[in-house]
Amino acid sequence: MKLIQKNSKGWRKMNRPIRVLVAKPGLDGHDRGALVIAQSLRDAGMEVIYTGLRQSPAQIVATAIQEDVDVIGLSCLSGAHNELFPEVMRLLKEEGADDILVVAGGVIPQNDIPFLEQQGIAKVFTPGTSTKETAEFVRKAVKERKRSR
């Protein structure tokens, strides 16, 4: 039975829990929603690392690589998502870590979602999305990515 598999950063144990980095980029000081999502993903059996407030895109990417995460969840309520989220995507690509799934949430206008998806954000969760829906999306998307490797 195969116990490890190769990813872009080396070898990783198979069948480990999904690892998610929940991050608050920029100067946004409100983290209630991010904490609720982090706890709900933990309750769904995932390993969650929370970066805390006011993280730069470079800090987020460095932490994601160091922690060998499968997913980055970005939360933004400040309106700076169109600048911060694409920068995270650019840095992931630059570091050769663009195999990490990136999802986002917060107060993000519907008109901005297509732009963020074009930048590589897999899904933008808007206010009112259930925590169950978020966990199900993450689980399914990670499974599909692992299958396509």
| pLDDT digits 0-9 by tens, 21-69 | 999 999 988 899 999 999 999 999 999 999 999 999 999 999 999 999 9
The encoded tokens of residue 148 equal 């396509």
Instruction: Identify the CATH number of the domain in which residue 129 sits.
Output: 3.40.50.280
Judged by average pLDDT, the poorest of 11-15, 21-25, 64-68, 72-76 is 11-15
Q: Is residue 28 included in any domain, yes or no?
A: yes
Q: 145 versus 102: which is more confidently predicted?
A: 102
| pLDDT digits 0-9 by tens, 96-135 | 999 999 999 999 999 999 999 999 999 999 999 999 999 9
Q: By C-alpha distance, which of 92, 94, 95 is closest to 120?
A: 92
Helix (H, G, I), strand (E, B) or coil at 75: strand
- Per-residue pLDDT at 1 exceeds 70: no
Q: Is residue 11 included in any domain, yes or no?
A: no
Q: Is residue 41 included in any domain, yes or no?
A: yes
Total tally of structural domains belonging to the chain: 1
Q: Is residue 83 included in any domain, yes or no?
A: yes
In contact, 100 and 71? CB cutoff 8 Å: yes
Dist CA 105 CA 124 (whole Å): 5
Q: Is residue 3 included in any domain, yes or no?
A: no
Q: Is residue 101 included in any domain, yes or no?
A: yes
Dist CA 59 CA 38 (whole Å): 18
Q: 21 is in which domain, residue-wise?
A: 16-148
pTM for this prediction: 0.90
